Chains A and B, each alone.
Chain A
Amino acid sequence: MKNLVYTMTQLSRGVLGVVLGLMLAIPVSAENLTVYTAVEAEDLKRYAAEFNKDHPDIKIRWVRDSTGIVTAKLLAEKNNPRADIIWGLAATSLMLLQSEGMLQPYAPKGLGKLDSKFRDSANPPSWTGMDAWIAAVCVNTVEAKKNNLPTPTSWMDLTDPVYKGHLVMPNPNSSGTGFLDVSSWLQIYGERGGWQFMDNLHKNIAWYTHSGSKPCKQAARGETPIGISFAFRGAKSKAAGAPLEIVLPKEGVGWDMEATAIVKGTKKLAAAQTLADWSITKKANVLYNKGYAVVAYPGVAKPVKYFPAGILEAMIDNDFEFAAVNRKRILAQWQKRYDGKSEAK
């Protein structure tokens, strides 16, 4: 018994040591930068790794969620911000934050080389663009055939009752993709026509998802025949072997930019600026091009496998100003009309 007590004391001492060690084992050398993002998770590791090749002394702590969530989180933390910098959030969201006075204007080194569409027009800009992501409809050809669904060619087609219960789209409140869809429809059909269209579409929707990529992933797995999502996601799932057809509706597709901005009041301004500088380099844009056909740095973009042809022509002439200014109102309206069918979150 004595031995047992002894062993137990030793054991607990050991455990305590290990535990304290683990708890205190925060790397001391590198500076931690809290980066909020809505970029696809599978890309984040690459981004951080490439960045750290040039700046090993800055460690990135990612906070990733869907566009709407990250936006809401940033707004909620307005008085007690936890983010140092935002790298990869919809420009419309950043414009909203800008209007709340939450962004720190900064002109990253090499700003002049960027396509002028891909930056805040103010000087110095509050945000700089990275790439554009573009709405698309993912159609599972196998399931469509099974359910005798014609391949849609336009947004309007999707309101046809044959698609009832076969459509899935993201909830614009949480998903950036969802929001750019809604804002594009309001721009294409006008305010009244847009809501009218959505009323009809709503009748066909099986459920609204929390994330923008989920509808396409579900279409890829055949959980639903048709998912309203974005082009890049469709291309990826197709590359993974899914029987998908990526449709660009003929009315044109909505799109948004992913962009970078420094959060006002960050205690790590220098590190944040270093990251902002790096985020517009050619190197970074090559990285963005792995997933996005359209990037901010002219001449970098190379074709992405399975990416639908004619996408640049399909992109509507997006009025970001309209989207950003009306974002809150549109979302409230949307929630009031359709939220009952929303998937949790």
Chain B
Amino acid sequence: MSTADSIPASTVPARGASSVRIKLSRDDYALRTGLVVVISLLAILVVLPLYSLLSKSLEDMDGNFVGLQNFQEYFQTPALLTSITNSLSVAFFSAIIVLVLAFIYAYALTRTKMPFRLFFRGVALIPILAPSLLAAISLIYWFGTQGVLKSWLFGASIYGPIGVIMASCFWVFPHALMILITALSTADARLYEAAEALRTPKWRIFWTVTLPGAKYGILSTGFIVFTLVITDFGVPKVIGGNFNVLATDVYKQVVGQQNFEMGAVVSLVLLLPAVAAFIADRWVQSKQVALLSARAVPFQPKSEPLRDWLLFGFCATIAFIFLAMLGMAAYASFVTFWPYNLTLSLNNYDFDLMDGGGWEAYFNSIRMAIYCAVFGSGLIFFGSYLVEKARGVSWLRTILHLIAMMPLAIPGLVLGIAYIFFFNHPDNPLGFLYGTMGILVISTIVHFYTVSHLTSLTALKQLDPEFETVSLSLKTPVWRTFGKVTLPVCLPALLDVASYLFLNAMTTVAAVVFLYSPETMLASIAVLNMDDAGDIAPAAAMALMIVYTSAIFRLLHALLTRYLKRRTQVWRTR
């Protein structure tokens, strides 16, 4: 459109001839102020901490600038270098395994008439309700030295890459599944009809239509699983044994040895693959948009007994494994003293007698999750509203959108460390936040900002852009339209965001593990610490408390959404 050859040269006015300046209305001032405020806020909470991290990596213990010396030291430490290969290989294998399993599972859910699809879908989402540590703990009960099925490993130890990959596959499965379901649901039935009309064999249809159609979803899933696994540290911490990975190195350097400079270096090394995967994923997503823009006829699966029952067997196996993972942890949490006293009791739930912060940690978690849901969804929705609806100043909106995209590329551990450096700096006026609930809430909201931002942006984009124009012509202030139209119409999306933040706040470990204080101990960290102290059964018990709470919350969310849809969104029904 802006290529010069589209217009006769003579008519091109001097470039940069500015538009007539329109006086700003009160609304414009309000929205622009909002933009500046939110941008500053995010700059303080995202950009500045990263800068602190970067500068810390170039300093020595006493804060003198030493250039790349820390990096040099890092790359001369063989033990640390091994972690890079360990991390990459574990993430790579997990990504491949999950991709294959989740693809078949998603295919069965979306493209067949297999029975119990809804049930299978529900079961596969269970891991989302639990911290990643739960999988590792459960695996220890299944395959550890005292594991029920230890013999199945033929003498191999679960403590190490095997355990890490197995546990990782479990907890990232639903994340992969959701993307793949979306990718496979957007099929164009006409392509299949055309292929069938040409008497194409089934397997060829699969290779030539199904797979290419889901190509971008598959790539995207690969990148996301890779990032999730490489940046997770709960799993390798619990079941890694002597198998060191980047994420545990960061933790070891910072928490174990209080060597913050080296921690900064390792976390920057960890940032690299995460950023690379992020960029690759963005690129893939931009391709995908073009693919979907043509309106397609939705695909209606037909029943095909043999295939459906084969896939049923597959899904049942996976679902059984998932239930077994959860069930074992639940069972073990009631066992008085594994493996010598199998009588059931509630002893392991007596958290107050153990390392890890006790029941208070559990209630702190709920409190934090509620704050995240309330403040987080408010802030994020407001931010995405500004990105979508502020008039003019497109450069400000672009800046806000770009900053909002950044957290997706920043692993939680890296964010957590960056926050230590930033907020614990003696000169930072925000230092009072350090060690409070506030910093936990802030770091969690920031950590999960991007996905929430994109969710509410999508909801806002579905509104007719002319709503605001009409309101202007009717001389209605922008806040009134926001309150009377935008917000009510987007309420379901807003609830989704709140629920997403709540669940993640309940289960997250990564960023907050560096930021909690004794008063703000969280349940997920208690799981980690109890495991660390050798109290694995109570750790399982606490992890299950998180699962129960998340499940109840999910249920409440579903009910509330339904109620709202009935009560206030009558207009949706025709």
Contact = CB atoms under 8 A, between A and B. Distances in A.
* Direct A–B contact in complex, judged by CB atoms less than 8 Å apart: yes
Interface stretch (B241-249, B276-284, B384-392, B501-509): B241-249
Contacts of A145: none
A42 interface: yes
Given A5-B484, A76-B258, 15 more contacts: A4-B568, A41-B533, A42-B354, A45-B352, A72-B257, A173-B256, A209-B534, A215-B534, A217-B535, A221-B146, A223-B146, A341-B242, A344-B248, A345-B237, A345-B255
A243 B354 contact: no
Contacts of B536: 221
A112 interface: no
B240 A343 contact: yes
Number of chain A interface residues as a range = 35 or more
A214 B533 contact: yes
B426 A344 contact: no
Interface residues of B, number: 59
6 closest Cβ contacts across the A-B interface?
A: A217-B534, A344-B248, A41-B355, A72-B258, A214-B534, A76-B258
B518 A214 contact: no
A68 interface: yes
Contacts of B241: 206-207, 343
Interface stretch (B95-103, B188-196, B319-327, B334-342): B334-342
B437 interface: yes
B340 A68 contact: no
A69 B255 contact: yes
Interface string A204-248: 001111110111111011111000000000000000111100000
Interface in A292-325: none
Contacts of B370: 19
Interface stretch (A57-65, A129-137, A259-267, A276-284): A57-65
Contact of A61 (B339, B340, B354, B518): B518
A224 B256 contact: no
23 contacts: A1-B488, A4-B568, A22-B367, A23-B437, A40-B355, A63-B517, A69-B255, A142-B340, A143-B145, A174-B257, A207-B159, A210-B256, A218-B534, A221-B146, A221-B337, A223-B146, A241-B336, A241-B340, A344-B233, A344-B240, A344-B251, A344-B252, A345-B248
A339 interface: yes
Contacts of B34: none
A225 to B, nearest CB: 9
Nearest to A331: B257
Interface string B225-268: 00000000100110011101000110110011110100000000
A173 B244 contact: no
A210 B568 contact: no
Given A1-B568, A80-B426, A223-B145, A344 B236 contact: yes
Given A207-B242, A343-B242, A222 B146 contact: yes
Nearest to A5: B483
A98 interface: no
Nearest to B375: A19
A344 B336 CA distance: 27
Contact of A19 (B79, B353, B374, B518): B374
Interface string A1-29: 10011001000000100010011000000
B438 interface: yes
A224 B144 CA distance: 10
Interface in B96-129: none
Contacts of A343: 240-242
A345 B518 contact: no
B532 A211 contact: yes
Interface string A57-90: 0000111100011001101100110100000000
B356 interface: yes
A61 B519 contact: yes
A342 interface: yes
A42 B252 CA distance: 24
A275 B240 CA distance: 41
Contacts of B336: 241
A171 B214 CA distance: 48
A41 to B, nearest CB: 4
B422 interface: no
Interface of B: 79, 82, 140, 144-146, 159, 233, 236-237, 240-242, 244, 248-249, 251-252, 255-258, 260, 336-341, 352-356, 358, 367, 370-371, 374-375, 424, 426, 435, 437-438, 483-484, 487-488, 517-519, 532-536, 567-568
Contacts of B242: 206-208, 340-343
A220 B337 CA distance: 9
Contacts of A339: 79
B258 A75 contact: yes
A173 B337 CA distance: 30
Contacts of A82: 435
B259 to A, nearest CB: 8
A5 B518 contact: no
Contacts of B146: 221-223
A342 B236 CA distance: 12
A345 to B, nearest CB: 4
A240 B252 CA distance: 31
Contact of A240 (B240, B255, B337, B532): B337
A80 B238 CA distance: 32
Contacts of B354: 41-42
Contacts of B79: 339-340
A3 to B, nearest CB: 8
Contacts of A217: 533-535
A80 B356 CA distance: 26
A42 B353 contact: yes
| Interface-centre pick from B140, B237, B258 (highest chain A CB count, 10 A) | B258
Given A63-B517, A339-B79, A345-B251, A19 B371 contact: yes
A209 B236 CA distance: 14
A222 B340 contact: yes
A287 to B, nearest CB: 16
A222 B236 CA distance: 21
B60 to A, nearest CB: 13
A258 B374 CA distance: 45
B356 A41 contact: yes
B252 A342 contact: yes
Contacts of B248: 344-345
Contacts of A40: 355
Nearest to B517: A63
A340 B260 CA distance: 20
Contacts of B353: 42, 45
Contacts of A61: 517-519
A31 to B, nearest CB: 15
Contact of B518 (A63, A209, A220): A63
A145 B236 CA distance: 30
A69 B258 contact: yes
A79 B535 CA distance: 35
Contacts of A75: 258
A41 B258 CA distance: 21
Nearest to A143: B145
A243 B249 CA distance: 35
Interface in A163-209: 171, 173-174, 206-209
Given A1-B568, A345-B237, A221 B255 contact: no
